[in-house]
Amino acid sequence: MYISACLRRCLLTIAAVVVFTSAVLAAESSPTTFSPVLRFSYTQRMRIETYDNTTWLAADSLAGSSYYRQRVSLMAQYRPSAKIELALKLTEEMRYYFVPEKRRTDFDQLFVDQLYARLDSVGRKPVNVILGRQNVEFGEGFLVMDGGPLDGSRSAYFNAARADWTVKSGQTLTLVVAYQPRWDGLLPVIHQHNRYKLLTEQNELGFMLHYNRPTAKGVLQAYLLRKQATAYQKYPRIDLNCLGARAKMPVVTRLTATSEAAIQFGRRGGQDQFSFGGYLYVDWATGWPELCPRTVTLGGLFLSGDRYTTSRYEGWDPFWGRWPKWSESYAYALAKERAIAYWTNMASLFARTTVTLTPVLDLNFEFHHLTAPRYTDPTAAFPGGNGRTRGNLTIIKLTYKADKNLTGHVLYESFRPGDFYKPTASAYGWMRMEVMLKF
């Protein structure tokens, strides 16, 4: 309660500063050189998703589901001067369940998805500041992408203050301070029956420092993250730091390598924590004609697991990277093991390729052989196996892009479990069809 009250005061203070700064900057702008701009945008995402036993890996659990989900967003962006942008985005997502039939149609919430003020060239320096509810993504979203993983892909926002300083020659230093509550109590929400929809398991405070340096042929990035999470029920207090780097560079003609690695250290409950993780892959642009593979990718992923027999915690913490980066379906399979999209204790050798069928159709194939660096705790009810082979994951995706306003895809994923799971674990299938409209 104390943190929430203090944060509300901070938000009111920030709002007052934004209004004052906007007035000052607007006064500095000459009306003869800039005309105010008001822009509206509309997004409608329509999906049908169906799966059988993705969560429990048990065909006899009758835990399958099929539903239609529709997310609608309306956004207004106003530029009163060349240095100011004010933005408001409202979003609502509903679900209509085909299976199980006893589940009712859920109209969810109408909530504030974005609400920020962007101030460019603050103090006439190469510093841009964004204050308020906004999206934040670093690199490929390995550690920073989604501030509220428990609401699925409905939103990904952070309640944050961000400053981007262009040091020189395109090099950028970014500082972000974010507060993520368990549920949205900071801004108004319509549909009070769902007022306390969870966004994350614990109240989180985040500090992010990110350095980006483009090169002539690639990019170099480095970052320092800190996450503090309050203890709540079965979830311990977390004070964790993460130091990492990412690089993308050409190797030879048509061959590019991308790698990211990080170490984590701090405290989790009463335990010291030290963990590490990363990935490496190479992309080959074949140059082959239509109906042949356009790109071929080979790579590997490693996320450390906890050795449950020691006093130290070694399991990887995904920070704000809990989204379907590696798989849409397997993110749900992790829910009973730890939490949804909680990527940890995982290694993968993977391959993928993209084939251009027509100018508007691409076909993507991806395969993961998944393992676990550490054995699971034998006292845990799930997953229940005594080995380290998670299984084989196959992903097929047909992508359609008519133009900038209309896109869509059909996605199919299947997973065959290994001995990391109990012997009775069964394979699953997961499928999604999507149409997206943007105006």
Annotated domain spans of the chain: 2-30+41-438
Distance CA 316, CA 277 (A): 7
The overall average pLDDT reported for the chain is 91
pTM of the model: 0.91
pLDDT at 24 over 50: no
Q: What band does 32 get if pLDDT is binned at 50, 70 and 90?
A: low
- Which residues, including other chains, have CB under 8 Å from residue 421's CB and lie 6 or more apart? 57, 383, 384, 385, 390, 391
pLDDT tens readout for residues 244-272: 999 999 999 999 999 999 999 999 999 99
Distance CA 326, CA 281 (A): 13
Q: What band does 193 get if pLDDT is binned at 50, 70 and 90?
A: low
pLDDT at 61 over 60: yes
Distance CA 412, CA 409 (A): 10
Mean per-residue pLDDT, 331-343: 95
Least confident of 7-16, 104-113, 232-241: 7-16
pLDDT at 6 over 50: no
Mean per-residue pLDDT, 286-291: 92
Distance CA 291, CA 281 (A): 24
Which of 364, 369, 365, 333 has its CA nearest to residue 350? 369
Q: What band does 286 get if pLDDT is binned at 50, 70 and 90?
A: very high
Q: How far is CA 428 from the centre of its chain?
A: 24
pLDDT at 387: 96
pLDDT at 396: 98
Q: What band does 2 get if pLDDT is binned at 50, 70 and 90?
A: very low
Mean per-residue pLDDT, 384-407: 97
Q: Which CATH class is domain 2-30+41-438?
A: mainly beta
Q: What band does 34 get if pLDDT is binned at 50, 70 and 90?
A: confident
Higher pLDDT, 187 or 8: 187
pLDDT at 109 over 90: no
pLDDT at 27 over 50: no
For the record, the structure tokens of 154 come out as: 């409905």
